[in-house]
Amino acid sequence: MGSNDLQKQAPNIVVWVLLLALPLWLPYVGGYMELGSRVVVLALAAMALNFLLGYTGVLSFGHAAYFGLGAYGAGMTIRYLVPSTGVGLLVGTLVGAVAGAIIGPMIIRLRGVYFAMVTIAFAQVFYFIAFRWNSVTGGDDGLTGWTRLPIHLGFTTIDILHNPVAFYFLVLAVFAVAVGVMAWLLRSPFGRTLIAIRENERRARFLGIPVDQHIWISWTISCAVVSVAGALYALLNNFVDPRALYWTQSGDFVIMAVLGGMRSFWGPLIGAAIFVVLQDYLSSQTENWMSFVGLFFVLVVMFFPRGILGIIRRKVAS
């Protein structure tokens, strides 16, 4: 590996070392294990959104729908069908991905603000279904009466319910697979094509690239990954309520992506970490914490439009 390669790999190495060693250093900075799990889960959701926003150039304001579908899919599977964490995760992911794949063709021809508005509209449809269908989803009271269950591997059983560190590593493993797939896709010719579409859609079209089809695939992948995050989120809370599908949740994902830097792969992870930790810390100090989170976001957007990671990158480059 040349020194150039090493420099390129440096951010990846730093991120993975920090994440893998999290249980060792988090307690010393006043954190607790579930905070780490929450950062990783929401980071996965923000990175999934960024696959679409940062690398395809399409802004979705309705990703909470697929996040929530993943969450309800996982929760309802464990509650009603099969008492198994693994099956719950799988079904949650499938539900979100299939919903995304079906809704995709209806919206991919739209661009810009129209695309964002229609994604919100579809998200609200799912929100109201979850909110109103009391007998199945528990409505506003949320889906209760279930918990994540120990994972049986044949030779051993991992108690992810009572051992927060074990659960963190489950989350991290799923995160690694999902992020790995996204990174691999972005390095492939398919990923390069997406970036070409982002940079200049008309030129891509003239080059003979089936743009709508590419956006549809990108959208479906993004929905699938965000529903993985949703399923993990349900397992993290042992609870799902319609708020997970609400448009403010979509807004939070966009904020995380923009905060961290939507042109960089790890940006949304940084954004999610800042968002979650800031919220966790400030809201214990003052009840006006939302003003501070908002102010911070405004400052970042005004002065560092490429996000936190954008500034660091520029520093390294100069």
Partner 1 sequence: MNDIKFSRRSLVKAAALAGVAQVASPFVLTARAADNVKIGLDNPLTGTYAAVGKNELIGCQLAIEQINAKGGILGRKAELLVEDSTSGDAGTAVQKARKLIDRDKIDFLLGNVNSALALAMAGVAAEKGVLHIVPGGHTDAITGATCHWNVFRVCNTTQMEANAVTPSLIKNAGKKWYYITPDYAFGHTLQAGLEKACAKNGGTKVGGDLTPLGTTDFSSYLIKAQAANPDVIIFLTQGDDMVNALKQAVQFGLDKKVHLAGAQQELEALEGLPPEARIGTWVFEWYWNQPGVPHVAEFVAEIKKKTGRVPTARTWFGFASTWTCALAANGAKSLKAVDMAKHLQDFHLPPEIALMPDGAFYRKGQNQLIPNLYVGHAQAKGSAPDDLFKVTDVVKGPDAAGTLEESGCKMTWPA
Strand runs labelled E in the chain: 151-152, 157-158
The letter for the amino acid at 162 is: H
Nearer to partner 1 (CB atom), residue 28 or residue 155:
28
Q: Which of 3, 4, 156, 285 binds partner 1 (CB under 8 A)?
A: 285
Nearest approach, Cβ of 52 to partner 1 (angstroms)? 22
Q: Does 162 bind partner 1 (CB under 8 A)?
A: yes
Q: Which of 22, 36, 38, 247 binds partner 1 (CB under 8 A)?
A: 38
Q: Which two tokens stand for residue 19?
A: 């994440």
Q: Which residue's structure tokens are 């809704």?
A: 103
Contact 275, 293 (CB under 8 A): yes
Q: Does 216 bind partner 1 (CB under 8 A)?
A: no
Query: What burial letters (b/e) apply to 181-204, b meaning 16+ CB within 10 Å?
Result: ebbebbeeeebebbebbbeebeeb
Q: Does 25 bind partner 1 (CB under 8 A)?
A: no
Q: Does 139 bind partner 1 (CB under 8 A)?
A: yes
Q: Does 161 bind partner 1 (CB under 8 A)?
A: yes
For residues 117 and 309, give the distance between their C-alpha atoms in angstroms, rounded to a whole number. 28
**How many residues of this chain bind partner 1 (CB under 8 A)?**
42
Q: Does 138 bind partner 1 (CB under 8 A)?
A: yes
Nearer to partner 1 (CB atom), residue 16 or residue 128:
128
For residues 87 and 106, give the distance between their C-alpha atoms in angstroms, rounded to a whole number. 30
Q: Which two tokens stand for residue 5?
A: 């390669």
Residue 246 has phi, psi (to 5 degrees) of -75, 155
Q: Does 142 bind partner 1 (CB under 8 A)?
A: yes
Nearer to partner 1 (CB atom), residue 215 or residue 309:
309
Query: What burial letters (b/e) apply to 116-127, b meaning 16+ CB within 10 Å?
Result: bebbbebbbebb
For residues 19 and 68, give the distance between their C-alpha atoms in angstroms, rounded to a whole number. 25
Contact 45, 253 (CB under 8 A): yes
Nearer to partner 1 (CB atom), residue 178 or residue 293:
293
Nearest approach, Cβ of 243 to partner 1 (angstroms)? 5
Q: Does 284 bind partner 1 (CB under 8 A)?
A: yes
Nearest approach, Cβ of 264 to partner 1 (angstroms)? 21
Residues 227-246 interacting with partner 1 (rule: CB under 8 A): 233, 236-241, 243-244
Contact 262, 58 (CB under 8 A): no
Q: Does 150 bind partner 1 (CB under 8 A)?
A: no
Nearest approach, Cβ of 280 to partner 1 (angstroms)? 7
Q: Give the interface with partner 1 as residue ranges (CB under 8 A).
A: 28-35, 38, 131-132, 134, 138-142, 144-145, 147, 161-162, 164, 233, 236-241, 243-244, 279-281, 283-285, 287-290
